[in-house]
Chain A
Amino acid sequence: AQSVTQLGSHVSVSEGALVLLRCNYSSSVPPYLFWYVQYPNQGLQLLLKYTSAATLVKGINGFEAEFKKSETSFHLTKPSAHMSDAAEYFCAVIPSGGGADGLTFGKGTHLIIQP
């Protein structure tokens, strides 16, 4: 069975600083990987995804993530944090080619932006 682990339930950074949210996956073959963002009292919105093409993936709002097979990681980064980035972030995994029971989500990381 596949799974994802998000290191750190809460991450706090200063406005303008680098954002790094960690995600490691467990899968026998390289899966598809996703990052979702959830703003307060809203549903989840797709930030970016890795589907076995380019290993460096760019998403919305200046976020990007790099798939590293050797490290089984898919960490999310943004060079300069903005107050509007404060939200909950979820990493999710599915076998490449899909699966009937869909995505498996990590427990989430709450990103706090300090002024």
Chain B
Amino acid sequence: DTEVTQTPKHLVMGMTNKKSLKCEQHMGHRAMYWYKQKAKKPPELMFVYSYEKLSINESVPSRFSPECPNSSLLNLHLHALQPEDSALYLCASSQSYYGYTFGSGTRLTVV
């Protein structure tokens, strides 16, 4: 299995809602990442988990809360988002000395 699976593929949520994005990989990668990507821009790093511990938080607002329940799963909990948070949210995983494997992303719209 050489894939990173993200669910849901699309999500529309109101500014008062709470929702979660999920990511799963079975490649044995020990680093997992959340990225945010706006149209016609490169991916922007949000969080890095290494060996299930949060190792990098790129000063992301607290309305985004990551969680790594085990080495294969990564969640991103969303609460009280703003319309400007609408974007493609990408999960990725990697092993040292190799490139990242990205999921297809969750397209999030905040209304």
Is A bound to B? no
